[in-house]
Chain A
């Protein structure tokens, strides 16, 4: 049952997101401040209403299509390795979020070195020479190109 229902998850998710957007429209688009008559019959809410309904409709059609093809495809249970790999993606996401949080304190170079070391380790790199050199070179080079050549300002922290 679990394996059969898994293939519906993406379409059910898009349908639910569509529905959520439809419900959110009046809360997120406040028309009370708009003055005058709307002669065109189309306002700021029309397109979001139409699109969210369309997403729900198309997702339902997709669910029906999957149901039709049900016999052809067989879904295998995810292995422990696959779960671990998805877990690594989640950790990478967290590492980037932490980069956004920490960069005002640590500055671009240090925060980027920490991020790159983490991602390299998550991707299975165990060569210490590479783990030291690649983040250092990348961070300093990008910082130099953007600040010196391109005249952009990158975040600086407590240290530099």
Chain B
């Protein structure tokens, strides 16, 4: 009995000793930490013009919030598409982080991989890929997104184009066959290749889409819940919308962008999408199919590559919607969200130049 007590006590003593040792070590380390803090705070002592509003938002906070809002859709797609989707997503996001660290190291800049922007970029890129692509595809895509589209332009905040979409566009040009092979898991062991709803629409027409899913209600249900073929992250409309609404609630994105973009696509496809003349299209189908939801909520709202003012954002979103509809209805590709956002990225500086807010006291009365 007494032996037991002694044994119990002994480790406790050891632990205490350890703690004392640790505290001592900490004391020694304190000056170092202080020095580090000083350097850190110097980063925030920026001389800038007004407004001098202070907000506790930071790149880190915003980026990880966006990552978090994507999580439900990501988890759903891993559940729906299986392990291959997980591998693609991991390869995309992790390699993006690695490329970010490497390019910042080569350019002798401060390494900022913990701010989550590279992770987000890689994740969004992987979400725009078909689930069963070979593993090199997301890695090459991340390379193009991070090294070519982001750091060659000067890093975060200086890139003209949405890096994730540049990556996807380059992959689309490089390996068109791999990038358009859509797979579904019908049973646990059986994988078949079949077309996405928009592919069927392009090749066989609207009736064929409805027939594939059984009825129009079934079609809407499949699109809304994400039970269909497509890129990894674009399928589940309901979870993506929830994530987007959370971002709007957090005021990270402006609600006018998704509303304008999705609305433009809806109205235009309703007017011109049908085969029986004007106003016979199916706007709901077009709004939920393809990558429109993820594009409108997460790509067209990118802070770097879209206009600053609200008026500019509306123009941007409407333009992207119009180009999307043009590509879907008249172009050669079945889906055009990626290209429409990239094309509108081109004119963002122009929009910003012409849509400038009136200076206080300089505007006309009335």
A and B from one complex? no
- Residues of B with Cβ closer than 8 Å to A? none
